[in-house]
Amino acid sequence: MPDEEFVVTPYEVRGRVDYDRLREMFGTQTLGPELLAKLHHIAGADLPPLLTRGIYYSHRDLGPLLDGFANGKPFFLYSGRGPSGPMHTSHLVHFDLCVWLQRRLGVRMYIQITDDEKYWSRAGLTREETAKWGLENLYDILALGFDPKRTHVFFDSRSIAALYPLAIRVARKIPYSTVKAVFGLEPSSNIGWVFFTALQTVPAFWPSWAEGTSIPCLIPCGIDQDPHFRVTRDIAEGLGYPKPALLHSRMVPGLQGDAAMSTTGATADNALFLNDPPKTVERKIRDAFTGGRATVEEQRRLGATPEICSIWALWRTRFAETDQKFDEITRQCRSGELLCGDCKGQLLERVHRFYREHEEAREKAKAWAESTIVTAAPRPL
Amino acid sequence: MPDEEFVVTPYEVRGRVDYDRLREMFGTQTLGPELLAKLHHIAGADLPPLLTRGIYYSHRDLGPLLDGFANGKPFFLYSGRGPSGPMHTSHLVHFDLCVWLQRRLGVRMYIQITDDEKYWSRAGLTREETAKWGLENLYDILALGFDPKRTHVFFDSRSIAALYPLAIRVARKIPYSTVKAVFGLEPSSNIGWVFFTALQTVPAFWPSWAEGTSIPCLIPCGIDQDPHFRVTRDIAEGLGYPKPALLHSRMVPGLQGDAAMSTTGATADNALFLNDPPKTVERKIRDAFTGGRATVEEQRRLGATPEICSIWALWRTRFAETDQKFDEITRQCRSGELLCGDCKGQLLERVHRFYREHEEAREKAKAWAESTIVTAAPRPL
């Protein structure tokens, strides 16, 4: 998706992303007030920050999915993680939303841990590393509040017996030319990487296949991952499964001001890793890029610019618990009332608290994580 | 491998194959009297027809493998079958040799049944069909005389948990460009087919990986399959495994005079299927292409040409139990003493007997076939 100003592909996000333009280029629908109201009504509760603050802003086919749910047809959630290293706070966006949806709607969650794909797509990683990070990442994900009874994990290298019968059928539907075009693979790309999109597609159909009935799927993901799931949507009907609905988020900017909090081609200082010790978290936040002015005097007079600020993005996605708090921070920032140092101090306190609580929840999740991993196929073909 | 006279690729055999020329083009070694004598010595028994009658005629690294065996280092055998339909008699060539080697040398046999690959590479087949034929074919293979205790089967769709951890490592070593060049895949080829060569490679390394030690592998195969295993050999050392040795056979000509008894793009009359009823076998043999002359008188006078005869090829590969019988048939054919009709009659009697005995052995093999299928990985990574 090259443009004079920004680049967004499933493997790269660069430049200042014009999200509305991107949505138009991808041909997805706006996540507007009407749909949000519908979800609010179905959930019977206030919507979470990720929805009220415009972080999720685009979708495909969410309306029919919610209508179906309202009429007694449950859907399931599907998200995943490529375990290349420790997770950072912006990796939590989709899982946070899934936890909320699972709690409010009682729906099932399927999580794919792609320890095979990360080994194939990152030459520098060993299998031992992707397997180890797969498990570590899984603990982080489950700790966010998933229901052990309704959460199922495909840990690729360990769940292959469960995935493969369906992957065989999916793979026949996807020509190499599609993978090449969508993911920009080169002739030198290894054949595991080429095959992988079949495995990434499987969870979207798996419950329908396993149970021999049609169960809709909702995939919350970054807008950059839309091309991945367009392939999934394109082949769904030919295999007799419903097209998965998608909910697209903006990317969370990196602490250094990059378009996304990514660790690919960036320094570790660009992201808050969940295994960063408190001192490191503090340093990273203190050093983070903000929308502040060159001098205190100027900032008091003109105010700062939250839209370009990495700290404001953290408040927005997770750390301002209430919309009231978020609006206050935003107003004070814009008016010049709140200086960047104080704002960072307030945020830091919340981040530290989250890390402490997360660590506790993570220890508890370890006890039941193994029980969520699906290892057997429900049917032979 | 295009040539003015013949074409040989892993997916196509066409024209009158010049086997010596093909061996030179592939750069393999001649299977000469010295190596055969070495095998005779190690086996402590007469060599089987497939070796004495020049059907196996080429190899890679057989010498070191036999030397190793003589010095107390056992190897294992690996062969496989793509279950696209019933097996025919020429499919048995490699398994017959393996049975002999297993019996004489006490070595282990690994058989791969690629019900995934056949689904990927043959658009007309359903998964139900490749799975069904996989099991039917397996019964036919095991019935040839394999030792239940030393024979292990990778039935791809059912053995994937055992294969996948190693397949992940293998797949990273194989770029798409290699698969494209070796197998002639098109951009429209599906990504399962692209991935498959990784799975076909795994059994050659599997025992070494499973046991954490270096165990040599011998793969008997048609010379047309050499490119497949050249890929395997090329990546072996980078993964820390020995390069598999290869033993190459000529292709068995089809009953209609084609270069190979293949069912791809040929009529069913070109091959003797193991599930053909006696009447069909009789008709196919009666209608088979021979090296006979236009008239009885001419044949009595000039003799026939065994080298181009599909019936002679059947005597040669399997149905002349002794070399004495084979030499007699050949001599009588060449001299004009034996007419094609009588020769076919003699062969038919033996073919009928083989079918009866095979059916009995097959019923017995069904009882233990399931126990040979490997379903679990011996290690996680």
Q: Which of A169, A177, A192 comes nearest B188 by C-beta?
A: A177
Answer whether A289's CB lies under 8 Å from A310's CB. yes
Tokens 């629908």 found at = A29
Helices A156-172, B156-172: axis angle to 10 degrees equals 100
Q: Which of B119, B176, B185 comes nearest A189 by C-beta?
A: B176
Q: Of B350, B336, B216, which Cα lies nearest the Cα of B285?
A: B350
Cβ <8 Å between B172 and A198: no
What is the model's pLDDT at position B262?
Answer: 60
Answer whether B60's CB lies under 8 Å from B323's CB. no
Instruction: For domain B268-362, give the fold.
Output: Tyrosyl-Transfer RNA Synthetase (1.10.240)
Integer angstrom CA distances of residue A210 from A120, A220, A236, B130, B192 = 28, 22, 15, 20, 21
Cα B261 from Cα B252, distance rounded (Å): 6
Q: Which residues pair with B246 in a beta bridge?
A: B60, B219
Q: Which of A187, A197, A380 comes nearest B176 by C-beta?
A: A187
What is the model's pLDDT at position A135?
Answer: 98
Name the residue in chain A with its Cα closest to that of B177.
A187
Contacts of A128 in chain B (CB under 8 A): 381
Give me chain A's average pLDDT, please: 94
Q: Of B108, B71, B111, B106, which Cα lies nearest the Cα of B87?
A: B111
Strand ranges, E, within B82-149 = 108-113
Find the helix or strand (DSSP H, E) in which B128 lies.
helix B127-142
> Looking at the predicted structure, is the pLDDT value of residue B263 above 70?
no
Chain A (197-226) residues lying within 8 Å, Cβ to Cβ, of chain B = 197-198
Instruction: Tell me which CATH code domain A6-256 carries.
Output: 3.40.50.620
The ipTM of this complex is 0.94
> Looking at the predicted structure, is the pLDDT value of residue A86 above 90?
yes
CA angle in degrees (0–180, nearest 5) for A71-A75-A78: 160
Whether B169 and chain A come into contact, CB under 8 Å, resolves to yes
Answer whether B243's CB lies under 8 Å from B250's CB. no
Contacts of B158 in chain A (CB under 8 A): 380
Per-residue pLDDT band at A268 (split at 50, 70, 90): confident
Total-model pTM: 0.94
Q: What pLDDT digit, counting tens, does each position of B282-326 carry? A: 999 999 999 999 999 999 999 999 999 999 999 999 999 999 999
Of the ranges B29-33, B262-266, B361-365, which one carries the lowest mean pLDDT score? B262-266
Domain map of chain A by residue range? 6-256, 268-363
Q: Of A133, A191, A199, which Cα lies nearest the Cα of B169?
A: A191
| Local structure of B125: helix, strand or coil | coil
- Over residues B125-139, the mean pLDDT reads 98
On the question of a common fold for A6-256 and A268-363, the answer reads: no
Cβ <8 Å between B164 and A165: no
CA–CA min distance B367, chain A (Å): 20
What is the model's pLDDT at position B3?
Answer: 46
Cα A144 from Cα A333, distance rounded (Å): 29
Whether B174 and chain A come into contact, CB under 8 Å, resolves to yes
Instruction: For domain A268-363, give the fold.
Output: Tyrosyl-Transfer RNA Synthetase (1.10.240)
